[in-house]
Amino acid sequence: MTKRILVIDNEPYIQEVAQICLRTVAGWQVVTAGSGPDGLLKAAAEQPDAILLDVMMPDMDGPTTFENLQASTATRHIPVIFLTAKVQACDLRRYTNLGIKAAIAKPFSPLDLANQVSVILGWNLK
């Protein structure tokens, strides 16, 4: 079964790179959202297998978006991986304490992204 990933990032370039790489390397379906509120709507409607969520976004940041995902019975079961430039040990501890699966550092290697997600979530690539 093909996995479906939701990428929530306010940078269109990051959305596009992630989408192309995850489709090409892993064959996954990718849905994108440009903000936390849009991501919440798409997560509930699309029911993705995982969410890649940018930490630093205007209006509603990644941690707030994650808290909203966790507060909804429709989305709390979806594993979330943060995409972030903030990968200091104290940041990673804070993210883990929130309940995310992991954090992938930005800038990420486009060719390695699908493998990183697969390893984190225990999925096999195609």
Q: Which amino acid is at 94?
A: R
The pTM (predicted TM-score) of the whole model is 0.93
Residue 126 has a pLDDT of 63
Q: How far apart are CA 55 and CA 67, in angstroms?
A: 12
- Sort strands 50-54 and 80-84 into parallel, antiparallel or unpaired: parallel
Per-residue pLDDT tens, the chain, 126 aa: give them: 799 999 999 999 999 999 999 999 999 999 999 999 999 999 999 999 999 999 999 999 999 999 999 999 999 999 999 998 877 777 777 777 888 888 998 899 999 999 999 999 999 876
Asked if omega into 63 is within 30° of 0 (cis), the reply is no
Residue 7 has a pLDDT of 98
Residue 24 has a pLDDT of 95
Q: What angle do CA 24, 9, 32 make, to 5 degrees?
A: 50
Domains in the chain, CATH or no CATH each: 4-119 (3.40.50.2300)
